[in-house]
Amino acid sequence: MDKKYLVKTAQDLVTDTKGILAADESTGTIKKRFDNIGVESTPENHRRYRQLLFTTPEIEKYIGGVIMFDETIRQYSDDGKHFPELLEERGIMTGIKVDKGKVDFPNFPKEKLTKGLDGLEEKLEEYRELGARFSKWRAVIPVGGGSVARPALTANMKNLAIYAAFAQNAEIVPIVEPEVLIDGDHSVEKCEKVTRNTLEVLFTELYDYKVILEGLILKVNMIVPGRDNPNKLSPKEIAEHTVRVMKDSVSVAVPSVVYLSGGLSPVQSTEYLDAINKLGPHPWELNFSFGRALQEPVLEAWQGKDENIEIAQREFIKRAKLNSLALKGEYRSEMENE
């Protein structure tokens, strides 16, 4: 294991001007996205859409890495370039989702366990050969009206740490993603409490498995009330809750914390990210790794039609640029109409 390489890669992946595009939708998830716009979900249409994203002019100004799904990392552009090669030529790192999704956690209704450790070592070696320099594993933590089951939480955080250790051993920077879900009517205080508890357990496991904190990236939810909670907070209030949890729970050895959009709208995601960075300086890069919040306007513009590619790419670069400005606390709402 080359610790210096891992640390440098983690530092280079996100900066104060570039974030991460999460284009790692599973086959089932991208089918839902395509169903919404009336496009058949086939490997070829998936490839056409990802090519639209990856070939957007000036994407390299605002995106430093792209997380792919297994299908995508094996695909090629129209001109015969392997997608990781196409991105590398533009100075963008390739990442790969390595978990295998969720299963029900026995004896704990509504709790889930992320699977994928079996064969992980061999998979990581293969993905490195295919061009991956970083990877991602997601665990989901429900809130709802009750408390999170400790056995399920511990098991998920232990799996995240084991995954991170395997990734670093393969000289791939791990993104560890414990997502406290937005589903429910819980308060922002409940989200804060559950997220803090989740991070406490996660870092205990990371220490126990001797994961190099300087060579990983934490991907986490912002601290927001549940989707069905009528009490809506301002971006500044969201930012204050979020930064407080980061300061209480995240080691300063971690170079970057990237936020997921997790059910937030594209505009909300950017507003909250901007407010978070306005509270800086912070001991970490507080950045973004957005999926739907970057892609939703793109899919609506594209509609699966080649004649819409240019306008769809304009939507993509607009959202990427606005989030890049938010990294410096320079986003303004009026920019949405420019």
Q: Where are the domains of the chain?
A: 3-337
Angle between helix 27-36 and helix 292-302 axes, rounded to 10 deg = 50
Strand ranges (E), the chain? 19-23, 63-68, 93-97, 102-104, 112-114, 132-141, 173-180, 217-220, 256-259, 285-290
Distance CA 253, CA 59 (A): 29
The pLDDT profile of the chain, 338 residues, written as one tens digit per residue, is 789 999 999 999 998 899 999 999 999 999 999 999 999 999 999 999 999 999 999 999 999 999 999 999 999 999 999 999 999 999 999 999 999 999 999 988 889 999 999 999 999 999 999 999 999 999 999 986 556 778 999 999 999 999 999 999 999 999 999 999 999 889 999 999 999 999 999 999 999 999 999 999 999 999 999 999 998 899 999 999 999 999 999 999 999 999 999 889 999 999 999 999 999 899 999 999 999 999 999 999 999 999 999 999 999 999 999 999 999 999 998 888 87
pLDDT (tens digit, 9 = 90+) per residue, 34-83? Answer: 999 999 999 999 999 999 999 999 999 999 999 999 999 999 999 999 99
Architecture of domain 3-337: Alpha-Beta Barrel (3.20)
Contacts of 200 (CB under 8 A, 6+ apart): 249
Tokens (6 digits) for 138: 């997601």
The answer to whether residues 270 and 225 touch, using CB atoms and an 8 Å cutoff, is no
Residues belonging to the active site: 177, 219
